[in-house]
Chains A and B, each alone.
Chain A
Amino acid sequence: MISLICYNFYLLNVLRIEEVTKQYNGVLALDSISIEIPKGSIYGLLGPNGAGKTSLIRIINQITQPDNGSVYLDGELLCPSHISQIGYLPEERGLYKNMRVGEQAMYLARLKGLSKKEAKTRLLYWFDKFGIRNWWDKKIQELSKGMAQKVQFIVTVMHRPKLLIFDEPFSGFDPVNAELIANEILQLRNEGATIIFSTHRMESIEQMCDHICLLNKGKIVLEGTVAALQQLYGAKIYEIVFKTNNTKEVLSFFVDAYELRNHNYDEVSAILKLEVAFKENERPSDLMQNLLPFGELMQFVQKLPSMHAIFLDAIGKTDMHS
């Protein structure tokens, strides 16, 4: 029974990283990192430059080996045969300039283990999907940066890997194409792939990721679902919209009893907007009760912090500690 539970537990995570350590010339790039990446999730791997993201990604791709620790894909210790199950779009990416688009895509597809026929079918499917079939015989050097990025995206995903790793996938794309790629990534997730997403663009984290892991200086600073982290970091700040003619009284009530962060009153509509921070023992429902005699409560919402704010806050704290 126990083994069955364990088995199921492992199957819930497509990737399990256990105590992985990596050093480069005496500098600790990864310090005993353990992460579990749930199947079907979009997992954001965040962190400032030099945090260890690329080192970790390279270990998952078996480009480098960890000094210590192990990595499991679907419960199996990572080995060369897993290459065909992983798709990787590195941050520093490019293509052979002198090769033709189709030929190059075929080459990279076949290196991932696809047969000639299969590679051709899948590539044509993607080329048609992106409406770029007429690029097949073009040389890479004839393409713009954005066009080349599309080809790279196709090459990353066309072997239908169960784990996809995107390192700054949107860099080099204009907003229209970035949207297109973002939708494709979501689509791939819906079709069952698990996605590791490394980026500096916080808005895309909020938009796409359900889990995140924040690395700094080779260590995990934060980990969890985006919703939980926002709760954790933003639990005690509420935005209140209140219709009242008795502004002074309301404000003095707040100043006495709560920590008032911000306020704004529109005389024409008689609407007062407040931002209130709660102390540990204070409950929002109590405040709601107390407010009712002063006027009409229009909105009472918890203000969730942006991932950007969480990122800065967490990194700032760890930097201060170190």
Chain B
Amino acid sequence: MEKLLLIIRREFLTKIRNKSFVVMTFLSPILISILAMVVFYITKEDTPAQKQIVVVDASSEVVAKIVEGSETIQFIDYSTLGVEVAKALVQSEGYDGLLYIPPFHSEKEKWANAITLYTEESPGILFVETLEKLIETTMMSANLRKQGVSLENLKNSQVDIALRQSSFSGAIASKLGNGLKMGLGMGVGYLIMMFIVIYGTSVMRSVIEEKTNRVIEIVIASVKPFQLLLGKIIGNTLAGLLQFFCWGLLLLVFTAAAKFAFGVHFDEMSPQLSQVSEMNGVGQIQDVALEIGKLPLLRMFVFFIIYFVGGFLLYSAIYAAIGAAVDTETDTQQFVLPVIIPLIMAVYVGFAAVLTDPHGILSVVFSLVPLTAPIVMPMRIPFGVSTLEIVISIGLLLVSFLGIVRMAAKIYRTGILMYGKKISYRELYKWLRQ
């Protein structure tokens, strides 16, 4: 036990003294904060320039209405010039485009499809959509007028529904809350995946380093390979946790500092959150704060740590075994790929499944399978997962960790003393059976 602690201590210290660790820990939150601030100011200041579009309306149905234009589009009516002259004019005068509306046709569909936008360069998709919306609304309003209905009346008769969501136990949910859960869940899942890959690779490198430095034989003459493996994994996990806490702390400090110094509200900057707020018609930052307060934060935090550690232990053991099986980092690729696949699957299937149905069969299966559970389960937890399910998931994770670490130890034990041999999967299987 004392030796294990010594190994953990060495691995932990080596990791956190590493320059890249220091840079990653302290510089990335600063960089992210600066980036966020830059994005915030750019999006705030950068309202796109109004585009000037020439309209030639041969139908004389549309133009009267759309000529008013919008914030982003200014229309200039050159219907009298005819399309060919207008084309030449647009090009010579440097207007942004020409919208041609053909003579009205009794077949609405055919007519609508013949409306053409001429531009020098392909226009942005958002611009095209805005233009389409404008024409659609104008046409709809004209049609309604013909039928004796005014757009005003139609608007007044519309009812906006935002369903009040409640569980049987009385817990109130809202769209905003769900959006937040999704955002948080995905963020957490992604973060865990990132940490597993970064730290798993670091465990693998540390094993390869011991092999190439030839220090391994000196060390395992004093401790069991299993102790060394375990110490390495635990030491790196602790370094990962430390980095995570530093990030959390620094982000809090920077958020507070930015709020204080520049009056920046980071909450405003999350496009997803603001979209959700708009959708719901609330648009109030206080509501976001209120919704965050409603989330099972402590539960989320505790399970985040458990799955973070669990997932990390599981994958590090595999990464360590890979490190032991090869001589150089370039040889690791064939073994690393099958490890990355479940991680990526967990993130994307997790995103999709949790987005559509956080309690659907796919979500449940992925949050139970040990290789994907550390990523998918934390994504689901904000939506409320039964304790039994979590217990089963953690139990499976623990059992498979023990299984995998035993297998990894077998590969590790044999691999660390093997030099100059390219190892195949068949060879690994042989080592496992020894």
A positions within 8 Å CB-CB of B: 25, 58, 61-64, 80, 83, 86, 88-90, 92-99, 107-108, 110-112, 152, 155
Residue of A58, A83, A92, A98 contacting most chain B CB atoms (<10 Å): A92
Select from chain A the residue with minimum beta-carbon distance to B434. A25
- Asked whether, in the complex, the Cβ of A63 is within 8 Å of the Cβ of B220, the reply is yes
Chain A: minimal CB distance from B254 (Å): 30
- Asked whether, in the complex, the Cβ of A111 is within 8 Å of the Cβ of B6, the reply is yes
21 pairs of residues in contact across A and B, judged by CB atoms under 8 Å = A63-B221, A63-B417, A80-B224, A88-B218, A88-B221, A89-B218, A90-B217, A92-B419, A94-B213, A95-B213, A95-B215, A96-B14, A96-B213, A97-B213, A98-B18, A108-B219, A111-B3, A111-B6, A111-B223, A112-B222, A152-B218
Which size class do B's interface residues fall under? 20 to 34
State the CA gap A63–B227 with chains docked (Å).
13
- Asked whether, in the complex, the Cβ of A90 is within 8 Å of the Cβ of B14, the reply is no
Chain A: minimal CB distance from B242 (Å): 18
Select from chain B the residue with minimum beta-carbon distance to A167. B217
Asked whether B299 is an interface residue with its Cβ less than 8 Å from the other chain, the reply is no
Asked whether B214 is an interface residue with its Cβ less than 8 Å from the other chain, the reply is yes
* Residues on the A chain within 8 Å of B222, using CB: 83, 108, 111-112
Asked whether B108 is an interface residue with its Cβ less than 8 Å from the other chain, the reply is no
* Residues on the A chain within 8 Å of B7, using CB: 111
- Asked whether, in the complex, the Cβ of A93 is within 8 Å of the Cβ of B417, the reply is no
Q: How many A-B residue pairs have CB under 8 A?
A: 61
* Residues on the B chain within 8 Å of A86, using CB: 221
Taking a contact as CB atoms closer than 8 A, the residue among A58, A63, A88, A94 that contacts B215 in the complex is: A94
Other 17 A-B pairs with CB < 8 A, given A88-B217, A96-B209:
A58-B417, A62-B221, A63-B217, A63-B220, A63-B221, A90-B217, A92-B214, A92-B217, A93-B217, A95-B213, A96-B210, A99-B14, A108-B222, A111-B3, A111-B6, A111-B223, A155-B218
Interface residues of B in 192-222 (CB under 8 A from A): 209-210, 212-215, 217-222
State the CA gap A95–B210 with chains docked (Å).
8
- Asked whether, in the complex, the Cβ of B214 is within 8 Å of the Cβ of A111, the reply is no
B positions within 8 Å CB-CB of A: 3, 6-7, 10, 14, 18, 209-210, 212-215, 217-224, 417, 419, 430
State the CA gap A58–B416 with chains docked (Å).
13
State the CA gap A96–B212 with chains docked (Å).
10
State the CA gap A61–B216 with chains docked (Å).
13
- Asked whether, in the complex, the Cβ of B221 is within 8 Å of the Cβ of A93, the reply is no
- Asked whether, in the complex, the Cβ of B6 is within 8 Å of the Cβ of A93, the reply is no
Residue of B6, B218, B417 contacting most chain A CB atoms (<10 Å): B218
State the CA gap A93–B213 with chains docked (Å).
7
* Residues on the B chain within 8 Å of A83, using CB: 221-222
* Residues on the A chain within 8 Å of B209, using CB: 96-97
State the CA gap A260–B419 with chains docked (Å).
51
State the CA gap A84–B430 with chains docked (Å).
32
Chain B: minimal CB distance from A134 (Å): 22
* Residues on the B chain within 8 Å of A93, using CB: 214-215, 217-218
- Asked whether, in the complex, the Cβ of A111 is within 8 Å of the Cβ of B219, the reply is yes
Chain B: minimal CB distance from A286 (Å): 56
- Asked whether, in the complex, the Cβ of A25 is within 8 Å of the Cβ of B430, the reply is yes
* Residues on the A chain within 8 Å of B210, using CB: 96
By Cβ-Cβ distance, the 8 closest A-B pairs, closest first, are: A94-B214, A94-B213, A111-B222, A90-B217, A88-B221, A92-B214, A61-B221, A94-B215
State the CA gap A86–B222 with chains docked (Å).
9
Chain B: minimal CB distance from A146 (Å): 16
